Amino acid sequence: MLVGMTRRTHSRAAGLAGFAALIADETRAGFLLALLDGRAWTAGELARHAQVAPSTASEHLGRLVTGGLLTEERQGRHRYVRLASPRVAQIVEDLAAHVGPAGTERPHTLRESSAVSAMARGRTCYDHLAGRLGIALTDALTARGLLRQDTGFALTDAGLRWFESVGIGLDLTARRPLTRACLDWTERRPHLAGGAGAALCRHALDAKWCVRVGTERAVKVTPEGERALAELLGVEATALR
């Protein structure tokens, strides 16, 4: 029995080490962080983003696909990759949060400084909203009794009705958790993730409450979004800028 348990433990340890090794490379880690924007990227786009040769990018992407962290789709000559699942996105975001706040390094150029500020102000974290924007929405939902945080994140009955009244559809039958706390790596506080967080983000983008800016994951709230969020959740515009 002890020998059997030792073998099982060894197998799990080897699997964990192999999984960690997939991420323990700066280029592959950079790919995973870039793909947190929730979109599909081509191998060429990721190669340019990481400033590596296309052949190098292809090798790294192959390892990530084989390891189950990425999925790939081919359209004609183009190869697109994306994160394999929300669970993978959660792992990447949680690990990144342990590194420390983004942008702790001193920006070297005005462009870098602007990008860091934009990401801290508001960004997508795979398929939900993060940064000061994500925290402001999470705080507003909580203050209005729509979201509970005392025993883990959970929408209240009033919260479920609020989503319905705004026209944000929720899939209550999905295997994915409806709500989940995701540690924000710039604010160091949890923001709303899960199915409800994804639905809120999707609606915010579709309704033009916020728009993507630049080539990173940054988003900014539009004047229309400021009005809508003030009316629906009492969020002050200063918290969104």
Q: Where are the domains of the chain?
A: 2-84, 88-240
pLDDT (tens, 9 = 90+) of the chain, 241 residues, equals 445 557 777 778 888 888 899 999 999 999 999 898 888 899 999 999 899 999 999 999 999 999 999 999 888 878 899 999 888 988 888 888 777 554 445 555 655 556 678 888 999 988 999 999 999 999 999 999 999 999 889 999 999 999 999 999 999 888 889 999 988 888 888 999 999 999 999 999 999 999 998 766 889 999 999 999 999 999 998 888 7
Among 217, 225, 232, which Cα is nearest to 92's? 217
What does DSSP say about strands 190-193 and 180-183: parallel, antiparallel, or unpaired? antiparallel
Residue 110: what are its φ and ψ, rounded to 5°? -60, -35
Other CB atoms within 10 Å distance of the CB of residue 148: 15
Show the CA angle centred on residue 51, arms to residues 50 and 56, nearest 5°. 80
What CATH architecture applies to the domain 2-84?
Orthogonal Bundle (1.10)
pTM of the model: 0.75
